[in-house]
Structure 1
């Protein structure tokens, strides 16, 4: 919802005065906050700003070790200033690479001046000597203003696209950094984009690393012996395959693969899809509903043990890529190439199902990617139940049931 509103502000000429007013108010809040702090700089202290969501963090976290072990910043204390939504993930799986964490609610940071004042003041009081904002699609009032609020003498960001920021805002934000990294033109897979940014930051070669989560750090819970995970929701309605189609797939699985239970996962806000799905099943005895009841570390455990994931294209897919879980992903193509499909060397276990137009251009997705960034003109309803059934048959061989 917040991202949708931000993009509307950036693209509507009629809302330009409102956008400028919001930026000015938040800038004044930050200015006032830092004026109340007198903290001497702490040498060898680095703060990394990542205020985006789980998928963004999962792509980036592969390179934390490169920063930690680099010649330039290896002797620095590292703090993550991050979105509260990834707290359990980062603190569970990356606490060996990050020394300190500062968590914020990005909605409150954007809409509640008093909350923002306290956060900006807290940032300034740390006395960081270096700040890195590796976000490619920057937001002026989040990424750029917060980087400036740290007061770090070395403020490193990257040249941005204009998905989350207006060109005039980007020009203003650029001036708040002491160094800007150019990660190259065009639409790149986000993991490669992050690699280039980190390489520019540490100023030494950085290799591509597969996204992996240590299953030993996951929070164990009781799960069926053999099961398929269904994730019915997504952050936006147009990315959600209808519940009645998921139900048809579930009925197919129960008949053709009776050895498998079905495990439902999702955020508490996605219970509406679970309820609709369950109403369409004649028998729910083989369904385990975990919607809204799992922490991220528990979800990692569930995916680690799963035989298959069937999901819309959303954050859970990036977790599945990090746990090497075989997956079927139903996507209408939003942010094609940038976020999906995974390159074969990292995502050979993931099968993506797209509308026919995208499937017809599989050999050169980069050629059509500009038509699908940031939004796709195609409907997820173009993807049939039959195609999902065929994908299931190819991934669950006879030896597996």
Structure 2
């Protein structure tokens, strides 16, 4: 193989025929990247578009009408060692992509795109970025704009015409049928549903269980007919153990696939969650969402990670911690501790009581 840096396709003024989008981080990150797929297709209707992701996010992408192929990079499984990684690189190399658009920088994906011989490799100036043929200054840690806007910056650098971002989440009939059956068994199919997601990937993002319990009791007291559905992944179910002990809780922890979570959220009148991936699924499905934020560091703040869309809100307490130490916090996550259930309920009550909350400004914290 010839691994020398190759000239960019754009120098030949040849429209790309095969484009590889790359994002191998988490669920919400991939949901926020889905507008890029349609924008690329709008600019290059005849091009074949593939997406390289990790196994846990493939279901976000499968069924996307603007996507031709999903390729899996299983860095903790079959691609974790050099032989496995080489097999992945070789399989990508044989596809002869013209462009690799890398939305999130890692050493691994930069190496993959380089060794796969993709002529144009664009991404961020971080993590072995010398392997790229074109790069943008990496300023995401400053949190100047939303993550979805950073994704569009790469497309703008390529000269693409940018249309209004349209987030996509697949609507799978099999997932809808399973959720309907599940709700029917619980005699909840025709009732109002409020979904709650108290887990998150980091302790600095997890509002205390006792506050979720207080919130649920407030909801049930004023809206006794509302069904509370409790969601977490299987490995994060312990973060909701105490909540699951509450009366009349529909405990769905670890029981739903990603498409099934989407089907449940589509049926919900409200989703209340910590800052996590399902927040962005809810936003993509136009289900009202309240996202609870704690951390004050610009790169992990609501400015960069809040849910986007109609009836999307976030709540956050300003505690004046400078600098924010995030998961290394020495103040027992004061920002989360000081956010009261009553404040969250005040907003939740408005949403539950009304079929529309257009009068509330969703671009600012409440």
Do the two structures share a fold, i.e. TM-score over 0.5? yes
Asked if 1:127 is matched to 2:132, the reply is no
2:47 counterpart (61, 64, 76): 76
Residue 388 of structure 1 deviates from its aligned partner by 1.9
Once the two structures are superposed, residues 64-112 of structure 1 have per-residue CA deviations (whole angstroms, 9 ceiling, x without a partner) of 1111121xx43322221111111111103x1x21112211223347853
SS at match of 2:123: strand
CA deviation profile, 1:263-319 (whole Å, cap 9, x unmatched): 11111112212322223x2x2xx2211111111111111111101111111111111
Aligned to 2:164: 208
Corresponding residue for residue 244 of structure 1? 210
C-alpha separation in 1, matches of 2:211 and 2:325: 26
- CA contact 2:171–2:259 (8 Å) conserved in 1: no
Distance change (3 Å), C-alpha of 1:337 and 1:392: closer
Match of 1:340 in 2: 305
Q: Using a 3 Å threshold, how does the CA distance of structure 1 residues 216 and 263 change in structure 2: closer, same or farther?
A: same
Kindly report which structure 2 residues correspond to 1:75-154, keeping only aligned pairs within 5 A, or say none.
Answer: 75-92=46-63, 94=64, 96-108=65-77, 111-135=80-104, 138-140=105-107, 142-154=108-120
For structure 1, the 5+ residue unaligned runs are 1-30, 32-42, 161-169, 359-367
What is the aligned partner in structure 2 of residue 269 from structure 1? 235
Please give the alpha-carbon distance, in whole angstroms, between the structure 1 residues aligned to 2:301 and 2:68.
35
Secondary structure, counterpart of 1:107 in structure 2: coil
Contact 1:333 1:376 in 2 (8 A): no
Provide the rounded CA distance (Å) in 2 between the counterparts of 1:182 and 1:315.
Answer: 26
Q: Aligned with 2:131: secondary structure?
A: coil
- Is the counterpart of residue 197 in structure 1 residue 148 in structure 2? no
Counterpart of 1:307? Answer: 269
Q: Deviations over 1:117-149 (max 9, x none)?
A: 3222322233323222122xx122x22111112
Q: For residues 14-36 of structure 1, give each alpha carbon's deviation from its aligned partner in whole angstroms, at most 9, with x where no partner exists.
A: xxxxxxxxxxxxxxxxx8xxxxx
Q: Distance in 2 between matches of 1:347 and 1:129?
A: 33
Where 1:192 maps in the other structure, the secondary structure is helix
Following superposition of structure 1 onto structure 2, how do residues 222-237 of structure 1 map, counting pairs within 5 Å?
A: 222=180, 223=183, 224=188, 225-237=191-203
Structure 1 distance, partners of 2:97, 2:161, is: 25
Distance 1:374 1:277, change over 3 A: closer
Cα separation, 1, equivalents of 2:133 and 2:324 = 33
CA contact (8 A) 1:80 1:102 kept: yes
| SS of residue paired to 1:396 | helix
Q: Which moved more, 1:376-385 or 1:264-273?
A: 376-385
Match of 2:132 among 172, 177, 193: 177
1:388-399 map, 5 Å: 388-397=344-353
- The structure-2 alpha-carbon separation of the partners of 1:270 and 1:253, relative to structure 1 and needing over 3 Å to count, comes to same
Aligned partners of 2:33 and 2:342: how far apart in 1? 35
The Cα RMSD (Å) is 2.8
What TM-score comes out, normalization by structure 2 length? 0.79
Q: Structure 1 residue 228: deviation in Å? A: 0.7
Structure 2 unaligned segments of length 5 or more: list them. Answer: 4-15, 357-366
CA distance in 2, matches of 1:373, 1:337: 16
Structure 1 residues 151 and 322: CA distance shift in structure 2, 3 A: same
**1:321 lines up with 2:283 in the alignment:** yes
User: Is the 1:49–1:147 contact (alpha carbons within 8 Å) kept by the matching residues of 2?
Assistant: no
Contact 2:302 2:314 (C-alpha < 8 Å) held by counterparts: no
TM-score of the aligned structures, taking structure 1 as reference length:
0.72
Matches of 1:152 and 1:159 in 2, distance apart? Answer: 18
Report the counterpart of residue 158 of structure 1 in structure 2: 124
